Amino acid sequence: MSLRWMFAALALSTGVAMAAQPDTTVRAQGPADGAAPAWSIDTIAPPGWTKDCCTYARAIGVNYVLYQGEWTGKPDRVMVLNVWPSKLDSLDAELQDDQKHYLQADPAGKVSPFPLRNGHQPCLGVMYSGSDHLDDVVVFCDPGKTAGVRFSWSMTVGASDPLRQSLLDAFKHVVEQSRYSKDVPAAGATGKPH
C-alpha cells in the first residue's frame, strides 16, 4: 500500500473517530426577567454524562442537569444548574445565605471552601459535609450587575463514594468552563431551550 493511501486511510479513520465523539457542549438558556436580559450559560459536559434542560430539569424546578446512567430522581451524582434574578448585594452574600440555611437544616454539618478558578466571572465554592454522610458541593457565580442574574452549580456525592474524587474533578471542570452570555435569539428562533 502506498504511503499516500495510508495517509488517506488514517485521515478517514480519524475523521470517523472524531465524528463518533458525542457532543459535550451544554447551553442552558433563559428568557428576560424584569431588568435581567435573556441569558445563556455555556459549558462542557463530561464525556458519557447525559444533558437535560427540559425533562428532568424542569420536573425538579432547575435550569439544567447533568447525570450518568439512568435518571433516578435522587440528587446523588447529579450536577444541577440554577439561575435566578440577583437579589442579594454580592456573591459573598449569596454564599453566606446558603451556608446559613444549610447549617439550620443540619447543625452537625461541616462547611469548607471548594477552591476553583473560573476565568469568565467570579465564582465562590463551598463543600458541605453532612451528618448524613453525603457531601454537597455548591458553587455560586456572578456574571456581573448588568446580567441581572446569578447562577450556581451543585452536586451531591457520598462521603465514601469510591468515585468521589473523579466526580468532584468532573464537577469542577464543568463549573470552571461555565460562561454567561446575554442571549440574543436568532431571527425566527422559537426561544425554546436546547
Closest to 120 in 3D by CA, of 148, 145, 142: 142
The overall average pLDDT reported for the chain is 86
Q: Is pLDDT at 22 greater than 70 in this prediction?
A: no
Domain residue ranges in the chain: 24-182
Find the mean pLDDT for residues 45-67. 95
pLDDT band with cut points at 50, 70 and 90 for residue 188: low
Position 2 confidence tier, pLDDT thresholds 50, 70, 90: very low
Distance set, CA 43 to CA 116, 130, 157, 188 (Å): 15, 28, 21, 25
Count of other CB atoms within 10 angstroms of residue 155: 25
**Strands 110-113 and 79-85: what pairing?**
unpaired
24-182: CATH architecture? 3-Layer(aba) Sandwich (3.40)
Q: What is the mean pLDDT of residues 142-165?
A: 96
Query: Is the distance from CB of 36 to CB of 180 less than 8 angstroms?
Result: no
Backbone angles phi, psi at 138, to 5 degrees: -135, 135
Cell matching residue 106 = 443540619
Determine the pLDDT at residue 1: 38
